Structures are given as structure tokens and as C-alpha cells.
Amino acid sequence: MSRIGKNPVSIAQGVDVNIKDNVVTVKGKLGELSQTISEGISVSIEDGVITLDRASESKDHKAQHGLMRALIANMIEGVSKGWSKDLELVGVGYRASNQGQKLDLALGFSHNIVLELAPEVKVETVSEKGKNPIIKLTSFDKQLVGQIAAKIRSFRAPEPYKGKGVKFVGEVLRRKAGKSA
């Protein structure tokens, strides 16, 4: 991970980055994020570019170096452009609808699953006739979008025989052959 940590992070237009007491705060047009920096990693800002340095060549410091660089880069991209994940519901009778921040999922269980989403995440459901329903999640926080998408997917993960379940758009599933006659 140390090669990733050595790459500088350029600050996008309209994004403010502040470093105070080992906490990096990134503020942009979409929102504000903050991240605590691990011990042994130092962060500096010069001419609109963020560089990270590590205290030693230990394995832990190398890993933290790359991780902190990636987290800061994701925060900058999130507050300037935003992140999105699309989920597809594959299966007969699988439906999704939303009322504001409440996501209502019909996934073949005896009851619908109602999920209350965080206010930072915008949810949109698309249901076209003849196509699988799609859930679109967007936010400035990449970790939050990924966590909510994984939670929704965990309600009915795709099964390997027919591919029924909740999957990410573009995800390639490994399919198995059924029993042979």
C-alpha cells in the first residue's frame, strides 16, 4: 500500500481542507467529512496538493499510509462530485419503492422490508415494465453508500443457480449448472 500513499492528492476546485490535531476536515458543495489520521502519518498541504508521509518503514505504517491517502482522496471526490451505487432486484415479484428516506423492499418474504436510510443518502427507485427494479443510492460519503448498499444486498444475496436476489448493477455472478438428468 505504500506506493498508493506516496501519490499526492490534488484538491478539487471549491473544496476546503483543514488539518487540526490529527483530524482532516474536508468541506465542499455537497457536504462536510472528517477523518482522524493514524499515528505515524503526517499530512501537509502545499499549493493545492496534499502529501502524506510515514514515520517509519514498518508494515503497519506502510498500510496506514496508503489507507489514509485513499480515505482523503475519497473524501475530496465525495464532497465535490459525490458517490453512487446502483442495485438491481432480480426475481419474479421483487419490488422496491421509496417514500422519502424509507425504502420498502418486497423480496419474496412473507413481509416487506422497510429500511430507514440516513439523511445524507439520497435514494431513488426505478421500476420499468419488463425490466428489473433498480435502487440508486447517492451521497458524498463513500463508506456510508457502500455500507447501506451491502446491507440491502444482504437481505437477499444472489443465488448461484438462477441468479435471483439483490445484486449490484454490472456485477458478474458465478453461475452453477443445475442437476443433470
| pLDDT above 80 for 181 | no
Cβ atoms of 166 and 88 within 8 Å: the answer is yes
**Which pLDDT belongs to residue 57?**
87
**Which pLDDT belongs to residue 2?**
58
- Among residues 141, 127, 1, 14, the alpha carbon closest in space to that of 66 is found at 1
Q: For the chain, give the mean pLDDT.
A: 92
Q: Tell me, yes or no, whether 7 and 76 share the same domain.
A: yes
In which domain, by residue range, is 58 found? Answer: 2-80
Amino acid identity of residue 108, one-letter, is: G
Q: Tell me, yes or no, whether 99 and 154 share the same domain.
A: yes
- Report the distance separating Cα 16 and Cα 6, nearest Å: 22
State the cell numbers at 25: 476536515
**Which pLDDT belongs to residue 127?**
92
What are residue 11's DSSP bridge partners?
Answer: none
Is 129 part of a structural domain of the chain?
Answer: yes
Is 156 part of a structural domain of the chain?
Answer: yes
How many domains does one find in the chain?
A: 2
Q: Mark which of 57, 80, 103 sits at the end of a domain.
A: 80
The Cα angle at residue 133 between residues 131 and 173, in degrees rounded to 5:
85
The Cα angle at residue 100 between residues 93 and 150, in degrees rounded to 5:
60
Cβ atoms of 135 and 89 within 8 Å: the answer is yes
Is 180 part of a structural domain of the chain?
Answer: no
Cβ atoms of 25 and 33 within 8 Å: the answer is yes
Q: Tell me, yes or no, whether 98 and 118 share the same domain.
A: yes
Q: Tell me, yes or no, whether 94 and 129 share the same domain.
A: yes
Q: Tell me, yes or no, whether 32 and 92 share the same domain.
A: no
Q: Tell me, yes or no, whether 74 and 98 share the same domain.
A: no
At 59-85, the pLDDT tens digits run 889 889 999 999 999 999 999 999 999
Q: Mark which of 80, 108, 124 sits at the end of a domain.
A: 80
* Percent over 70 (pLDDT), the chain: 98
Q: Tell me, yes or no, whether 65 and 115 share the same domain.
A: no
Neighbours of 22 (CB within 10 A): 13
Is 178 part of a structural domain of the chain?
Answer: no
At 26-65, the pLDDT tens digits run 999 999 999 999 888 999 999 989 999 988 888 889 889 9
Q: Mark which of 80, 99, 122 sits at the end of a domain.
A: 80
Q: Report the CATH number that the domain containing residue 136 is assigned in CATH.
A: 3.90.930.12
Neighbours of 85 (CB within 10 A): 20
Across 31-82, the runs of DSSP E, i.e. the strands, are 32-36, 41-46, 49-54
State the cell numbers at 53: 508521509
Q: Tell me, yes or no, whether 99 and 50 share the same domain.
A: no
At 120-142, the pLDDT tens digits run 999 999 999 999 999 999 999 99
Q: Tell me, yes or no, whether 154 and 101 share the same domain.
A: yes
What are residue 34's DSSP bridge partners?
Answer: 25
Is 65 part of a structural domain of the chain?
Answer: yes
User: For 158-165, what is the mean pLDDT?
Assistant: 93
3-state class of 153 per DSSP?
helix
